[in-house]
Amino acid sequence: MTLQAPIRVLVVDDSAVVRQILTEILSRDIGIEVVGAASDPLIARDKIKQLNPDVITLDVEMPRMDGLAFLENLMRLRPTPVVMISSLTERGADTTLQALALGAVDFVSKPKLDVARGLEGYAEEIVAKVKIAAKARVQALTRSAPKQTLGPAAPVTRPAFRTTDRLIAIGASAGGTEALRVVLEMMPADAPAVVLTQHLPASFSTAFAERLDRHSAMSVREATDGEAILPGHAYLPPGGKHLRIIRDGARWRCRIDDGDPVNRHKPAVDVLFRSVAQNAAGNAVGAILTGMGDDGARGLLEMREAGAPTLVQDEATSVVWGMPGAAFKLGAAQEVVPLERVAERLLALSGQGK
């Protein structure tokens, strides 16, 4: 039996304490070898050439060069899986979403206070995300990602759609912030209502909803409990809560659920999909995009069994084919579709797409 070579990791952070703690956390796993650490991007640049790491953990705010500028250069010239270590602040949320747009695979939230103890609390997540990142598909950046303050850089051709009472439900995780942007960017203003669940820390949801809203002809918003679900609108769960749909006479409404995590996630895709299966059945369409783990697979199967058309993003265009792959293996997906065709197929399966 051939032993698999350990994942070679370079830790980049301006804090000596954080570099030490991350090195200790990662080194405890026999499948990971920390080959070096760097206190700023210029040192990191030299160490990347010298050490050829499989994965880089990267802080955002560092001396001599901004972490985002470094990430953009890296993804343009030497695409390498990157896990961002970002602060749980509103500014940190905007910056992290920009990093994901530039090609970072995933991120881990760095606590604002008591960083040492806080990072230890995230040890399992840090190790898991580094291992997933090592298998992720990263592509060379061919354009600058849109700045957070701007809308789409160019007009997007969107399929025509006539409003119906259909409902589209989408779940995603690692790689999903950008995948959802691509899908919603291609949706027309009169598309069926869309309900979404993306695995994100609670403090990221507002910035994420605002980012999607800027890139879509639809109105994208954080859902409020009891609000009516309307065509031309997309709804995200507010931070750290599940989103479900309920039937209220002839219409659907959002239900914000502060229950326990499901599949270790809150919000969880399975919670959303099961509510869609129960309350919308064949009037809904379900999709799982790129993501780690298997959240949503069973819920998508319940949607299919209830009569809803279903699809998953294909492996070639997924950053991580965990959630879509799990749904496919479970028999939950009727179609496997590349990312650039997901919006088109969702509209077609809703009955009115062209």
* Burial classification of residue 326, based on how many CB atoms lie within 10 Å of its CB (0-12 exposed, 13-18 middle, 19 or more buried): buried
Of 295, 314, 318, 350, the catalytic one is: 295
Q: How far from 249 is each of 199, 204, 246, 316, CA to CA, in Å? A: 30, 33, 10, 42
Of 173, 205, 216, 275, the catalytic one is 173
- How far apart, in whole angstroms, are the C-alpha atoms of residue 120 and residue 30? 17
The answer to whether 295 is a known catalytic residue is: yes
Q: Is 46 a catalytic residue?
A: no
H or E stretch including 214? helix 205-215
CA dihedral 145, 90, 57, 16 (to 10 degrees): 140
Strand stretches in 44-149, DSSP E: 55-59, 82-87, 106-110
| Beta-bridge mates of residue 291 | 321
Per the residue annotation, which of 109, 199, 275, 294 is the catalytic one? 199
Is 173 part of the annotated catalytic residue set?
A: yes
Distance between CA 94 and CA 172 in Å, rounded?
Answer: 19
Which residues are known catalytic residues? 173, 199, 295
